[in-house]
Amino acid sequence: MQFTLDELRTAAERVHREMAPTPQYPWPLLGERLGCEVWVKHENHTPTGAFKARGAITYIDWLKREHPEVPGIITATRGNHGQAQTRAAIVAGLEAVIYVPHGNSQEKNRAMRGFGAELIEHGSDFDEARVEAGRVAKERGLWPVPAFHKELARGVATYGLELFDAAGELDAVYVPIGCGSGICGTIAARDALGMKTEIIGVVASGAPGAKLSFEAGKVVETNEARTFADGAAVRVPVAEALAIYGEGASRIVAVDDADTAEAMRILWQDTHNLVEGAGALSLAGLIAERDAMAGKRVGVIVSGGNIDQSMAAEVLAGGTPQA
């Protein structure tokens, strides 16, 4: 999957009709702490509180043009994808049916309903909810939105475009990995701009499927995905995404939940941004490799800020939530 710079600029124009560009700042306290220049891309500042708002805008725009007969969409999520797809679908006049696993974040569930979703709980994890959503799509005549698609990645790539336009060519960018649209979009933006920036993926050690797959050169499923960073709790990596980050990423780093919680506290202390677990994975990855990044210019993608109040309180009090 490659995009020309014109294709990404066009996508950015479409995205910016519904949301403003998000900020990116070289936070000085992070720089002092880590010994490098640290640019934070604040995707926690989108209309849905996460980067997926971008891909939903371009995907639903594509769907309306290519399949105008479709009455609505159906998809599975742990929260951010579902909020984004619901928001874009409702704006476009479509219905949105969203599947989540039992035990999903109640605040993310409320947000999806707030955007207009019909929310259905099924299964014990994301992948079980995903399979059921695919089955029900045929019964209800709804369009199944996948976790990864070229038009999703094209929209997501616009945050990379914004970051590189503002910061220039960075030495490295750390990106959280769930299903993979974030890291694939960042790679697409780098390549379209002709830059040499290292793109480094970060996963939770309790959900290492993307790292195992990257190292094996093929999809490696795990039996479970245990992490409080629910946006990264994926057992079955997406093959289409792996084909892209398998070639375009430099490496993938795994961090444990205690390191992720500490990264969340650091982001609060040094930037006063409260982020979700998956949103802090990128900084946790940089912290793990701080010696290698000394003196360099580094970006971290804060992919979202949608965290339940009780979990945020536990983390800020010094704890690590149980997965």
Q: What value does the mean pLDDT take over residues 59-68?
A: 97
Amino acid 192: pLDDT: 98
Calculate the average pLDDT of the chain.
97
Q: What value does the mean pLDDT take over residues 20-26?
A: 98
Amino acid 147: pLDDT: 86
Residue 127: is its pLDDT beyond 90? no
CATH 3.40.50.1100 fits 5-50+150-317, yes or no: yes
**Residue ranges covered by each domain of the chain:** 5-50+150-317, 52-144
Q: Using alpha carbons only, give the angle 90, 95, 101 rounded to the nearest 5 degrees.
A: 100
Q: What value does the mean pLDDT take over residues 280-288?
A: 98
Please determine whether the domains at 5-50+150-317 and 52-144 fall in the same fold group of CATH. Answer: yes
Q: Report the C-alpha gap between 284 and 34 in whole angstroms.
A: 11
Amino acid at the residue 288: A
The burial of 93, by beta-carbon neighbours within 10 Å (0-12 exposed, 13-18 middle, 19 or more buried), is given as exposed
pLDDT tens sequence across 78-119: 999 999 999 999 999 999 999 999 999 899 999 999 999 999
Amino acid 32: pLDDT: 98
Helix or strand run (H / E) with residue 184: helix 181-193
Q: What is the pTM of this model?
A: 0.94
HSE, side-chain direction, 13 A CA sphere, residue 38: 30
At residue 208 the predicted structure's pLDDT band, cuts being 50, 70 and 90, is: very high
Amino acid 323: pLDDT: 86
CB 99 within 8 A of CB 75: yes
Looking at the domain covering 52-144, what would its CATH class be? alpha beta
